Structure 1
Amino acid sequence: MTRCRLCGSAALASVVDLGATPPCESFLAADQLDEPEPAYPLHLRVCTDCWLAQIPPLIKPEETFTEYAYFSSYSTSWVEHARTFVADAVQRLALGPGDKGAFVVEVASNDGYLLSHMVDRGIRCLGIEPSVNVGAAARDAGVPTLTEFLSPDTGSAVRAEHGPADLVVANNVYAHIPDVVGFTQGLRALVADDGWVSIEVQHLLTLIEENQYDTIYHEHFQYYTVASAARALASGGLALVDVELLPTHGGSIRLWARPAEAAGEPSRRVADVLAREKAAGLQELSGYTEFSARVAKVRRDLLKFLIEAAERGETVVGYGAPGKGNTLLNHCGIRPDLLPYTVDRNPYKHGRFTPGTRVPILPPEQIAADKPDYVLVLPWNLRAELTEQLSFVHAWGGRLVFPVPELSIVEVASGKGTA
């Protein structure tokens, strides 16, 4: 990487180098285990001119998202998060139902997990989802979905056919596109001149503060503060007017933006978060210099735990096969000798193997069958949801292990969790 993808500056400074890993969602079938597996550098840098944190665009989105392994609806808490967002947005923006009511577009709409709530309310909507398989699942669920990547041309075509959108939603996608300027121009093409854009993306502030380095992977091309996000929005003719701090994904920001000509002054919340980011040193290199050392400690602590458990004859298995888990497994060099398998609720992943580390992925019922001493929870961002789901491990004295922000071993209370 020689130039910042947002401002074009050559002033890029290293934040953390995680070596080379395969793409985090390239799960392997059994017949691929003897084939070569490409790995790509995973090196986070920050532009010291506009302060956008970014990795090199070594993998094209088409290579990841044409056939995709992640289905949002398999996370109960995420579906509930979407339902709450829809209810709040309908009230906040007075979105009405019917052909003459509001029109809502979601970009990267996945399997319809969010727009299904719009459909239930009778609000006209359209999903734009590049992944063929998950887009088909959305259509099967009754959510109108266009299989495309968003570009200025796509945005203009949708607007010409369906009219301008009163609300454009882009949750957990603004980090996934290397052409941040073109994507933002696509958002502007979709939204009405007096409409709204809502974007949810992980907050770089919490990523740094909470050691969330496993959320760095090749699908995520950039990592935003509110300050850098405002600059990115402005590149496409949008202005930031409000921000909410969310607990999702370990700490996210919900950005509310409007076309610049209709935006008005930003809210007090924007100023407050900008002040927090400045106080954390994220507008200067001092805020980034210690991150690499803290990442190294997470790796050492987790490996020490797994090695000592193995030497004691104790069993450790995984729960979940998220993208972040594959960054962690590859960075730590964890293979089946230390983690014989992980489980996942998504049937698409059953019988496959994690990229790079080749850990088998099994159905969740395997945990109850084997009664391991420890369950390493890879989607740590769903800690509350999964602690409840996995409460059944209490029956044989099993414990949960969370690797981030620091190693935490939890004795779960007896409850109604199920595999």
Structure 2
Amino acid sequence: MKFHNLNTSVNELLDIGDQPVSNRYLLNQDDDEVQHPIVLGQCSKTGLLCLVNPLPCNKLVPKYDWITYSEPEPHLDDLVSKLLQLPGIDNDTVVAGVSFKDTSTLQRLAKFGLSTWEIKATQDLGIAENAGVESVQAHLNTKNATNIVKKNGQVDILIVRHIAEHAYDLNEFFEALKALVNSNGYIVLELPDCENSLNGCDYTMLWEEHVYYFTQETLKSTLSAQGFDLIDFTVYPYPMENSLVAVVKPSDTHSSRGIRKSHDLKAEFLRATYYARQFSPIKNQVRHYFEAAVKANGKVAFFGAGHLACTFIWSFQIHDLINVVIDDEPNKIGKFMPGSRLPIVGSHVLSDPTLKLCMLSVNPLSEHKIIEKNSAFTAAGGEFLSIFPNSARSIHKYFS
């Protein structure tokens, strides 16, 4: 099997079954929905994990214009400081971003007098102005990049935050990025670090919108294979997943296209194999845990009706043990979760005296805030726990 046009083989590791599109909230509990198998594979050359035969990207376009995703930003001031210190960067430097995810970084750089611009979805890529990254990556190809350069010229720094993991054709995507920078230009890639999720056997990591799952080593090996010279590499720590930032330049020769030494990647193959093998045992443990929780507590709710809850509930097949999914986003209330078809309700349901267990399925950064806001629930004997292995409130600590 070809690995997304990287001309190498991929070994299938894990099939978690047919999964719904997590942004397709149902208006009615019996609505039809699309499901697609989520199969995780690993590149035999670079160690990079990927989805095998991912759902076509046009099937990922949200039906609702109120769906948004945010990326971590506390590290951006430090990142900008590093970029300003790169050789050759001065007041004449021109910086561009490839999507709306780069806007806040460009704004920071503009404050230091650098000239900035951003690729326009409609004007430059021929897609809707509010298009998501699933559409941006599909149209950010060498042809469009060449036309953008004819209009705006090549840049000194190109910001590319949280989009490469969505790219269906990574070869073409990287070639487009190379076309946008001048001969001395820098490309700044930021991606989520999946190492903690892999080590903790967190299967909410798997998402139909992420085609690739990088660690520090597999990002470096992939960049090497793609003909980039690594200038700087930083890991910014966050509770759920770290942010990996690689500053690279297109290589002058093909000599850098070799792969990092095999001993660097041995741990990546072992890590991925362990992650795959643990799915079935953990699925059984999760099922037994919730069966016991229902028996002891009665009703069980989830808090956070996003893709993390969707994946956890449906991949572990525990929807019959959950009563509701809580979310205070007004647009979600009254709809039903993809896959599980569980009703989405507001946090007022926590006042139900028969509800004693609420599973947090939001980013661990937000857990304390939710618990504080809903202190009446815990005061009445309710308990908040977390679905995430790396949370201090994780249910995984109860597994044998």
* TM-score normalized by the length of structure 2: 0.79
**Cα distance 1:212–1:197, how it changes in 2: closer, same or farther (>3 A)?**
farther
**Cα distance 1:328–1:147, how it changes in 2: closer, same or farther (>3 A)?**
closer
Q: Is the contact between residue 320 and residue 343 of structure 1 (CA under 8 Å) also seen in structure 2?
A: yes
**What is the CA–CA distance in structure 2 between the aligned matches of 1:92 and 1:263, rounded to whole Å?**
24
Q: Is the contact between residue 290 and residue 321 of structure 2 (CA under 8 Å) also seen in structure 1?
A: no
Q: Tell me, what secondary structure is at the counterpart of 1:15?
A: strand
Amino acid at match of 1:384: L
**What is the CA–CA distance in structure 1 between the aligned matches of 2:26 and 2:87, rounded to whole Å?**
44
Instruction: Name whichever of 127-136 and 213-222 sits farther off.
Output: 127-136
Q: Percent identity?
A: 17
Amino acid at match of 1:167: I
**Equivalent position to 2:366, from 363, 366, 385:** 385
Q: Is the contact between residue 200 and residue 252 of structure 1 (CA under 8 Å) also seen in structure 2?
A: yes
**Cα distance 1:261–1:94, how it changes in 2: closer, same or farther (>3 A)?**
closer
Q: Tell me, what secondary structure is at the counterpart of 1:289?
A: helix
**Equivalent position to 1:41, from 37, 53, 57:** 37
Shift of 1:34: 3.0
1:27 match: 25
1:139 match: none
**Alignment coverage as a number of residue pairs:** 380
Structure 2 matches for 1:71-82, cutoff 5 A? Answer: 71-73=68-70, 78-82=72-76
**Equivalent position to 1:255, from 246, 254, 279:** 246
Structure 2 matches for 1:15-414, cutoff 5 A? Answer: 15-30=13-28, 33-65=29-61, 70-73=67-70, 78-82=72-76, 85-86=79-80, 88-90=82-84, 101-110=92-101, 112=103, 114-118=105-109, 123=114, 124-127=116-119, 132=128, 134=130, 149-234=139-224, 237-248=227-238, 249-261=240-252, 277-278=264-265, 281-282=267-268, 284=269, 286-335=270-319, 337-345=321-329, 347-363=330-346, 365-366=347-348, 370=352, 372-379=355-362, 382-397=363-378, 398-405=382-389, 409=393
Instruction: Name whichever of 214-223 and 398-407 sits farther off.
Output: 398-407
Q: Is the contact between residue 66 and residue 132 of structure 1 (CA under 8 Å) also seen in structure 2?
A: no
Q: Is the contact between residue 298 and residue 405 of structure 1 (CA under 8 Å) also seen in structure 2?
A: no
Q: Tell me, what secondary structure is at the counterpart of 2:165?
A: coil
Q: Is the contact between residue 29 and residue 353 of structure 1 (CA under 8 Å) also seen in structure 2?
A: yes
**What is the CA–CA distance in structure 2 between the aligned matches of 1:339 and 1:115, rounded to whole Å?**
44
Q: Is the contact between residue 336 and residue 359 of structure 1 (CA under 8 Å) also seen in structure 2?
A: no
**Cα distance 1:87–1:50, how it changes in 2: closer, same or farther (>3 A)?**
closer
User: Which runs of 5 or more residues in structure 1 are unaligned?
Assistant: 137-145, 266-270, 412-419
Q: Tell me, what secondary structure is at the counterpart of 1:169?
A: strand
Shift of 1:257: 0.8
**Cα distance 1:360–1:155, how it changes in 2: closer, same or farther (>3 A)?**
farther
Shift of 1:179: 0.2
Q: Tell me, what secondary structure is at the counterpart of 1:309?
A: helix
Q: Is the contact between residue 319 and residue 375 of structure 1 (CA under 8 Å) also seen in structure 2?
A: yes
**What is the CA–CA distance in structure 2 between the aligned matches of 1:121 and 1:326, rounded to whole Å?**
42
Q: Is the contact between residue 20 and residue 339 of structure 2 (CA under 8 Å) also seen in structure 1?
A: yes
Q: Is the contact between residue 188 and residue 238 of structure 1 (CA under 8 Å) also seen in structure 2?
A: no
Q: Is the contact between residue 175 and residue 201 of structure 1 (CA under 8 Å) also seen in structure 2?
A: yes
Amino acid at match of 2:167: I
1:417 match: none
Shift of 1:180: 0.3
Shift of 1:317: 2.2
Amino acid at match of 1:59: L
**What is the CA–CA distance in structure 1 between the aligned matches of 2:37 and 2:342, rounded to whole Å?**
21
Shift of 1:290: 2.4
2:2 match: 3
**What is the CA–CA distance in structure 2 between the aligned matches of 1:228 and 1:55, rounded to whole Å?**
15
Q: Is the contact between residue 184 and residue 235 of structure 1 (CA under 8 Å) also seen in structure 2?
A: no
Shift of 1:344: 5.0
Q: Is the contact between residue 324 and residue 344 of structure 2 (CA under 8 Å) also seen in structure 1?
A: no
Q: Tell me, what secondary structure is at the counterpart of 1:308?
A: helix
Shift of 1:69: 6.1
Shift of 1:150: 1.2
Q: Tell me, what secondary structure is at the counterpart of 1:219?
A: coil
Amino acid at match of 1:257: V
Instruction: Name whichever of 352-361 and 221-230 sits farther off.
Output: 221-230
User: Which runs of 5 or more residues in structure 2 are unaligned?
Assistant: 396-400
Q: Is the contact between residue 257 and residue 263 of structure 1 (CA under 8 Å) also seen in structure 2?
A: no
Shift of 1:234: 4.7
1:415 match: none
